[in-house]
């Protein structure tokens, strides 16, 4: 009899498993996929560590979270400095003085602020959609060149159909700082995220290719408690509706070169380019491999049974999730958490923090 069966070996499940084990609990982790780690899974190919489900950079300013993850991996410093290509020209991200110089030739913050203030479109009401919000924040030049096409590809919707909150905190930096994140600590685990998950799960029974939902009654009888990290609509067989996501498709290229893009992440803002970005994995970690692996990332429609990536947090979907959550919480001894169960887009440090808080609330120590 296990104290806890944890469904899912992604970051949330692995952190819960480690903390509960250290608290003296008997834990079993079951994973539906053929590998552990969920969407932060990495693997080595031809001497290059590949982020199989898109680029992941760990960043946080919380000392407790940073100290915790460093118990299970040494982190190599990595600063994310993505660039965007639009109309054949390259622009720095996030929007900063380098971007403003590339757009308008300005060299001082005062010049840049004057142009943006002149470009901004004022509304006599709160912006109703993403397009209005962007025009209110940065004006038509930046919006039409660097935001509109990328957004349409990402969500397969006209920005006028998307809620304003998606882009409400669009960062504008009037410094020559192109560090994408503001956090104190930023890096990538040496050897990849899979190695870190392996260390988190070291000594804990972990079985892959186990579909909990198909064996829920058998498996539930073997544990006092269940921690479920999957999608709640799937848990109930979608009986009152399907929560919507955007999907992704990845195409990898092995190229006989030690430098193809010159950067880890390159966005493509033009709507007619079918992918949203390219990732050159060798730039995330030091490697002596003579080859490079470049991933093209294509947004696509999502259907149940496929890997979900970005939740579509419309009012209808949020209301549906709340109904599923209320039903789930009526199951005694069942707990849920993580990006799928919470139906939220989380950064990795938020997942770790949520798992730590959850275990603390269980009062198991």
203 domain residue, yes or no: yes
pLDDT exceeds cutoff 90 at 171: no
Same domain, 257 and 131: no
Question: Which residue of the set 32, 33, 246, 327 is catalytic?
Answer: 246
Q: In the annotation, is 33 catalytic?
A: no
| Contact assessment for residue 231 and residue 324, using Cβ atoms and an 8 Å cutoff | no
176 domain residue, yes or no: no
User: Percent of the chain beyond pLDDT 70?
Assistant: 99
Residue 170: pLDDT band by 50, 70, 90 thresholds?
A: confident
pLDDT exceeds cutoff 60 at 231: yes
The continuous run of DSSP H or E covering 49 comes out as strand 48-51
Question: Which residue of the set 297, 324, 342, 343 is catalytic?
Answer: 297
Same domain, 238 and 265: no
Q: Largest alpha-carbon pair distance within the chain?
A: 68
Same domain, 191 and 325: yes
* Helix, strand, coil percentages in the chain from 3-state DSSP, rounded to 5: 35, 20, 40
User: Percent of the chain beyond pLDDT 90?
Assistant: 95
| Contact assessment for residue 38 and residue 10, using Cβ atoms and an 8 Å cutoff | yes
Helix ranges, the chain (H): 11-22, 63-69, 97-104, 109-119, 130-137, 140-142, 148-155, 193-200, 216-220, 232-235, 315-328, 339-342, 348-361
| Contact assessment for residue 164 and residue 129, using Cβ atoms and an 8 Å cutoff | yes
Domain limit, last residue, from 167, 195, 210? 167
Q: In the annotation, is 71 catalytic?
A: no
Q: What is the mean pLDDT of the chain?
A: 96
pLDDT exceeds cutoff 80 at 169: no
Classify the phi-psi angles of 348: left when phi > 0, otherwise alpha if psi is within -120 to 50, otherwise beta: alpha
Q: In the annotation, is 169 catalytic?
A: yes
Same domain, 190 and 73: yes
Helix 11-22 with 348-361: angle, nearest 10 deg: 40
Same domain, 342 and 297: no
179 domain residue, yes or no: no
Same domain, 236 and 316: yes
pLDDT exceeds cutoff 80 at 289: yes
- Determine the distance from the C-alpha atom of residue 201 to the mean position of all C-alpha atoms in its chain, rounded to a whole number: 21
Say which range, 165-169, 174-178, 261-265, has the weakest mean pLDDT: 165-169
CA R_g for the chain:
22
Q: How far is CA 316 from CA 1, 312, 319, 320, in A?
A: 40, 10, 5, 6
> Each residue of 48-69: pLDDT tens digit?
999 999 999 999 999 999 999 9
Question: Which residue of the set 173, 195, 282, 339 is catalytic?
Answer: 173
Q: In the annotation, is 193 catalytic?
A: no
Same domain, 161 and 110: yes
Same domain, 264 and 199: no
178 domain residue, yes or no: no
> Each residue of 105-127: pLDDT tens digit?
999 999 999 999 999 999 889 99
C-beta neighbour count of 171 within 10 angstroms: 11
Contacts of 263 (CB under 8 A, 6+ apart): 81, 82, 83, 280, 283
Q: In the annotation, is 195 catalytic?
A: no
Same domain, 249 and 319: no
Classify the phi-psi angles of 277: left when phi > 0, otherwise alpha if psi is within -120 to 50, otherwise beta: beta
230 domain residue, yes or no: yes
Q: In the annotation, is 361 catalytic?
A: no
| Structural domain count, the chain | 3
Full residue range of the structural domain in which residue 275 is found: 245-301
| Contact assessment for residue 162 and residue 130, using Cβ atoms and an 8 Å cutoff | yes
Domain limit, last residue, from 141, 167, 193? 167
354 domain residue, yes or no: yes
Question: Which residue of the set 148, 277, 282, 339 is catalytic?
Answer: 277
Residues in the chain: 365
Question: Which residue of the set 125, 169, 288, 361 is catalytic?
Answer: 169
Q: In the annotation, is 258 catalytic?
A: no
174 domain residue, yes or no: no
Same domain, 235 and 251: no
Same domain, 238 and 253: no
113: preceding bond cis by omega (within 30 degrees): no
Contacts of 322 (CB under 8 A, 6+ apart): none
175 domain residue, yes or no: no
Q: pLDDT at position 364, please?
A: 58
pLDDT exceeds cutoff 60 at 365: no
CA atoms within 13 A on the CB side of 335: 21
Q: pLDDT at position 363, please?
A: 72
For residues 61 and 33, give the distance between their C-alpha atoms in angstroms, rounded to a whole number.
Answer: 32
Across the range 255-274, mean pLDDT stands at: 97
Same domain, 317 and 288: no
């Amino acid at each position: 009899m296990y104290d806890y069966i944890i469904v899912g070996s992604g970051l949330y499940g692995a952190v819960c498993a480690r903390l509960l084990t250290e608290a003296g609990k008997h834990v079993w982790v079951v994973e539906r996929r053929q590998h552990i780690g969920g969407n932060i899974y990495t693997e080595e190919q031809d001497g290059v560590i590949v982020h199989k489900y898109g680029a992941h950079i760990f960043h946080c300013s919380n000392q407790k979270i940073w100290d915790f993850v460093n118990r299970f991996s040494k982190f190599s410093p990595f600063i994310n400095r993505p660039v965007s290509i639009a109309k054949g020209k390259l622009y720095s991200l996030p929007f900063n003085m380098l971007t403003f110089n590339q757009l308008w030739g300005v060299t001082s913050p005062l010049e840049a602020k004057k142009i943006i203030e002149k470009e901004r479109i004022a509304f006599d009401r709160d912006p109703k959609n993403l397009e209005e919000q962007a025009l209110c924040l940065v004006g038509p030049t930046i919006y039409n060149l660097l935001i509109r096409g990328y957004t349409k590809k990402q969500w397969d919707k006209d920005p006028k159909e998307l809620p304003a909150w998606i882009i409400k905190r669009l960062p504008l930096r009037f410094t020559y700082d192109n560090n994408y994140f503001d956090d104190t600590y930023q890096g990538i685990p040496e050897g990849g995220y899979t190695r870190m998950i392996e260390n988190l799960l070291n000594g804990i029974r972990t079985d892959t290719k186990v579909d909990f939902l198909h064996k829920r009654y058998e498996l539930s009888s073997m544990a006092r408690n269940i921690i479920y990290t999957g999608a709640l609509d799937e848990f109930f067989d979608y009986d009152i509706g399907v929560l919507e996501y955007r999907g992704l498709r990845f195409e990898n290229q092995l190229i006989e070169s030690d430098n193809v893009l010159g950067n880890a992440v390159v966005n493509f803002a033009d709507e007619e380019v079918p992918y949203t970005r390219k990732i050159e994995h060798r730039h995330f970690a030091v490697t002596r491999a003579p080859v490079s692996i470049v991933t093209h990332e294509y947004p696509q429609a999502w259907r149940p049974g496929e890997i979900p990536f970005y939740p579509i947090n419309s009012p209808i979907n949020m209301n549906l999730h709340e109904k599923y959550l209320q039903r789930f919480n009526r199951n005694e001894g069942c707990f849920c958490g993580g990006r799928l169960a919470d139906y939220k887009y989380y950064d990795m440090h938020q997942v770790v923090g949520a798992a730590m808080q959850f275990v603390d609330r269980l009062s198991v120590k």
